[in-house]
Amino acid sequence: MNDLKIKQIPQNQRSDEINNSKSQYKTERIENIIIGGGQAGLSIGYQLAKHKLPFLILDAGDRVGDSWRRRWDSLRLFTPARYNGLTGMPFPGSPNAFPTKDEMGDFLEYYASYFKLPVRNKVRVDHLSKKGDWFIIKAGQHHFEAKNVVVAMANYQKPRIPSFASDLRADINQFHSIDYRNPSQLQEGEVLIVGAGNSGSEIGMDIARTHRIWMSGRDTGYIPFRINTRIAKLFLVPLVLRILFHRLMTINTWIGQKMRESMLTMGGPLIRVKPKDMVKAGIERVPRVKGVINGLPILEDGRILKVKNVIWCTGFHPGFSWIDLPVLGEKEPFHERGIVSREPGLYFLGLHFLYAASSSMVQGVERDAKYIVKNIITRSSERSIKEENKLTRSVELH
């Protein structure tokens, strides 16, 4: 592994003072800004550093990797360690082990430190707009301007909870899966898990030993093999990850186009937990929750569940409302492989099925990052040529 040298940001680009009625803001002008310091943000940072382009990564967490550390305690990745390294650094330890969420967070933190990637933590971006040729990024009292902006975040940012959740009785303990850590958060009594995807099934198995569970939600299907068996690790997982998800299921293939539409609207199949596992654990599947009556959840079949806890595993909204540009569609931003043609210089990385089924996985971001950086380089070259021609014409006129 070789250290990459970051092209330093010229000091004369760091000092535009902007007067505000309450305080003074300092605007930093940087050629390339990456919003998000997870695996997607670090991957594109590596590629920019490789080409000696100036950039800055903005991350809301206290530390790099906090987006992983904040997940529930028992979470392990669905992919073996051999597929969880980033460009220039394999994931440490046994290649066939399934890393914990904390191990993944620590790996990202070490990766950023080792390659000296300029990450600025505790900076949460709350507004992105554009003025002339410059993107305007506001993050509290921090203001930035950039020619290129890469939003390196998954489109799962804002919890989706049905409106009738507020009608549940006050003595019912309810929260979204993003806030779940371990069974100690639950009060004694029955639990209703709303949502039967991977998060719902994994959380259900985590609490089934201590609570009776009803699980409501659509059957999402499941992968028909155990991912932790020897034959799976040697043959089946590589077949699914490297060939099916990474090469066959892309936006350029019929199977990929069909799967993309399905995954964006309905979610993916269960990966680790199987339906018979939940039956064995005593988890009872029930119909969809249609509302609340007398403060209790009511199912489509008319049953009213007397529960003490509700965990909403109901997914997320994209959460990009802070982007004040005409680039947001109903389900995802308008883009072509992460490139936003209607706002040149704006890019997305880490979105679900950005190019392939593997795009939101650790192993899939490298290819997408390389593609975006290639476009940034081409755009920068074209801009330089235009500026040169403009300067030449100006000299000729005088």
Per-position b or e across 296-323, b if 16+ CB within 10 A of its CB: bbbbeeeeebebbbbbbbbbeebebebb
Taking the C-alpha atoms of residue 20 and residue 314, their distance in angstroms, rounded to an integer, is 41
Q: What is the pLDDT of residues 350-359, one digit of tens each?
A: 999 999 999 9
Q: Which residues contact 132 (CB under 8 A, 6 or more apart)?
A: none
Boundaries of every domain in the chain: 11-18+25-157+318-397, 159-222+269-316
Under the banding of pLDDT at 50, 70 and 90, the label for residue 394 is low
Between 161 and 382, where is the model more confident?
161
Taking the C-alpha atoms of residue 102 and residue 66, their distance in angstroms, rounded to an integer, is 9
What is the rounded radius of gyration, in angstroms, for the C-alpha atoms of the chain?
23
| Domain 159-222+269-316 class, CATH top level | alpha beta
pLDDT at 266: 73
Say how many Å lie between the first and final Cα of the chain, rounded: 52
Q: What is the pLDDT of residues 273-329, one digit of tens each?
A: 999 999 999 999 999 999 999 999 999 999 999 999 999 999 988 889 999 999 999
The count of other CB atoms within 10 Å of the CB of residue 108 is 25
Helices (H), the chain: 39-50, 66-69, 101-114, 198-207, 230-231, 237-238, 254-266, 275-280, 365-397
Mean pLDDT, range 79-99, rounded to an integer: 95
The two domains 11-18+25-157+318-397 and 159-222+269-316 share their CATH topology (first three levels equal): yes
Share of the chain above pLDDT 90, in %: 77
For 350, phi and psi rounded to 5 degrees? 95, 0
Q: What is the pLDDT of residues 58-80, one digit of tens each?
A: 999 999 999 999 999 999 999 99
For 300, phi and psi rounded to 5 degrees? -60, -25
Under the banding of pLDDT at 50, 70 and 90, the label for residue 395 is low
- Are 43 and 84 within 8 A, CB to CB? no
Q: What is the pLDDT of residues 256-287, one digit of tens each?
A: 998 888 877 777 889 999 999 999 999 999 99
Strand order in the sheet with 346-348: 119-120, 55-58, 32-35, 148-151, 346-348
Share of the chain above pLDDT 70, in %: 90
Collapse the DSSP code of 5 into the 3-class scheme (helix H, G, I; strand E, B; otherwise coil) and give the result: coil
Q: Write down the pTM of the prediction.
A: 0.88
CATH hierarchy code of domain 11-18+25-157+318-397:
3.50.50.60
**18 CB burial (10 A radius; 0-12, 13-18, 19+):** exposed
Is the pLDDT at 250 greater than 90? The verdict is yes
Q: What is the pLDDT of residues 27-56, one digit of tens each?
A: 999 999 999 999 999 999 999 999 999 999
Collapse the DSSP code of 60 into the 3-class scheme (helix H, G, I; strand E, B; otherwise coil) and give the result: coil
Place of tokens 């290819």: 367
- Are 278 and 202 within 8 A, CB to CB? no
* Averaged pLDDT of the chain: 90
